[in-house]
Homo-oligomer: A and B are copies of this chain.
Amino acid sequence: MRGPRIDRLFPESASPDPSGNGRVHADDGSRVNDFAFKVGTVNGTGSASANSLLLQSIFRMGIPVSGKNVFPSNIQGLPTWYEIRVNGAGYTARTPDFDLVVAMNPATYARDVAEVRSGGWLLYDSSWPLDAALHRDDVIFIGVPLGKMCIEAFAGSRERTLMKNIAYAGALAALLGIDLQVIGDRIRAEFAKKPKLIDSNFTALHLGYDYAREHYACPLPIRLEPMDATRGHVLLDGNTAAALGCVYAGATVGAWYPITPATSLMDAFIRFCGRYRVDPETGERRYCIVQAEDELAAAGVVIGAGWAGARAFTPTAGPGISLMGEFIGLAYYTEIPAVFFDVQRTGPSTGMPTRTQQGDLMSIAYASHGDTKHVALFPCDPAECFHMAVQAFDLAERFQTPVFVVSDLDIGMNDWMVPKLEWDDSYRPNRGEVVTAEQLEAMQRFSRYLDVDGDGVAARSLPGVHPNGAYFTRGSGHDMHAAYTEDADAYTEVVDRLVRKLETAARAVPAPELRLREGAEAGIIALGGTHRAVLEAVDRLAAEGIPLDYLRIRGFPFDAPVADFLRRHERTFVVEQNRDGQLRALLMLETGIGGDRLLSIRDYGGVPLSARRVMDGVHAELAEVAA
């Protein structure tokens, strides 16, 4: 058993900053590289490209930044928002406090105006008069006739709609001080293949930019200044990173049934395979993707492929996990490697498919009827999605069991600033205990479920390799020789070994990440995508004089360090994004600790967690304890 270690994936730039908030106040009293703004538009109108243009340009100015896409579950015509947070100190968790809002969607205008912080700015399309009722004295309204200008400058309604987005990007560039050069480069790169689009984009960009400069004092007191804090980092989404992990792990069979927010994982895998796995001459593919008829079938394909020796996986979301329940139990009991990615969305049932949550923890940990327990990994950001995807295949084959990489919509679909992914060419897949033809040739009798070394793992044979390796795989009662049984002892021998196997696995999953604080009495625990918000909150709380020891869980089943951490702290806050405190439940079940020592902080409305929410939770709980 290894002790916890400090994880290296997190940008150094975000290492605790004494001030606790990383704000940089310039002489002119303006707030530099530390603010947040959001854009409210209509989906399907092309605002996405304008927004990522803004995000990437800021990133290229060397300033830590994050973007959160809050979109509807339809294809076109409904309100959608894009939130960008700039933070020189490297805190890139979502923040609910917006200094500036761009209100492009009449349907959400009132709501957008209301969301500007007092003293903040509202950018709107002044082509048409503004509804006086929506005015706020404590907000500065910035009107730019985006619509009018685009109607004059462009022909065709489609182009006019599209360019309006680039135009507000131009206005923001002026107002916030985004380097025009940088934006220009991005546009040129973006449309390298469609040169004529480049011109119209530039025209639109300048419409907004110039108008803003002519009519308003630019930049605003919230502004950007180039830094050098993004070197060695990339802007990457978790599904793309996870797909890359599957490619690098040597996965050859991917089965799936499309579902938001997991679809882009397989899209990326297909893209990368097309790039790296197709024989240039023959066009032959070193991979096989099965778009299954549903999630049950997808799970079946993965299990069949794993049984036959291929590294196989399926990406899905909550509803898929529910549908795969029977098959998951089969893989657990027959001991077949299988990798499942659960990109969690808001449940229960269909829930809110385009909102995030951590609501599948319990469903995954003990998926399927009867006694079961499963290995799960909890990436905290896209970089870990990459590395844990690779680990997942190794663990699945070492322990011949289903392994779940538990991500969520925020990690999977949003662009995060993470260290550039690196690869060690000395890596070789750990295929676990697989008997070779030679070994089988030498054997008297191969017993599929016989554990020789006491770690709970029994060697497996692959079909087609050697007659001596033949055995019968069944989800019904079987003994250590894989023979059918209804005998209590023979049955028990096998299921008891599975317990030992999972205990061994607990020591092999990624160790928790521990951050100790001078003088901390209480602890705080979290996993997955809430990490950055918790990390920020922990820093700020420390600055307030509330030091907390922070343990970030990265794998399940839990290893001893988790229980130790809980025992060492009189009280531990458990932060998670679900209604019922599922992480807290797992901690109680697996460590036996009483609930009175676990203070729950939950946020489950579907938007990514903010540090403020965590701090409020801690303050509230402490107040309770005090009272």
Contact = CB atoms under 8 A, between A and B. Distances in A.
A240 interface: no
A281 interface: no
A595 to B, nearest CB: 3
A77 interface: no
A474 B325 CA distance: 23
Interface in A297-322: 318-319, 321-322
Interface string A571-607: 0000000111010010011011111100000001111
Nearest to A589: B585
A367 to B, nearest CB: 8
Contact of A370 (B323, B330, B359, B371): B359
A353 B592 CA distance: 32
Contacts of A214: none
Nearest to A598: B592
Interface of A: 72-73, 318-319, 321-323, 325-326, 329-330, 332-334, 346-355, 357, 359-360, 362-363, 366, 368-373, 474-477, 486, 488-489, 491-492, 495-496, 499, 578-580, 582, 585, 588-589, 591-596, 604-607
A319 B357 CA distance: 28
Nearest to A373: B580
Given A333-B349, A351-B477, A477-B351, A489 B605 contact: yes
B594 A592 contact: yes
B322 A348 contact: no
Contacts of A329: 319, 322, 347-349
20 contacts: A318-B370, A325-B325, A325-B363, A333-B349, A346-B491, A349-B370, A349-B476, A351-B476, A353-B476, A354-B486, A362-B366, A363-B368, A371-B604, A488-B605, A488-B607, A489-B605, A495-B579, A496-B579, A592-B596, A593-B594
A371 B605 contact: no
A356 to B, nearest CB: 11
Give the residue among A349, A352, A366, A607 with the most B Cβ atoms within 10 A: A349
A326 B322 contact: yes
B318 A580 contact: no
B359 A578 contact: no
B346 A492 contact: no
A499 B580 CA distance: 9
Nearest to A365: B362
Nearest to A607: B488
B369 A318 contact: yes
A371 B334 CA distance: 29
A392 to B, nearest CB: 19
B346 A477 contact: yes
A323 B321 contact: no
A370 B347 contact: yes
A486 B594 CA distance: 35
A585 to B, nearest CB: 5
A177 B347 CA distance: 63
Nearest 9 CB-CB pairings of A with B: A347-B370, A592-B595, A488-B605, A348-B370, A349-B475, A318-B369, A594-B594, A322-B325, A350-B475
A594 B594 CA distance: 4
A492 B579 CA distance: 9
Contacts of A475: 348-351
Contacts of A357: 370
Contacts of A368: 322, 347-349, 363
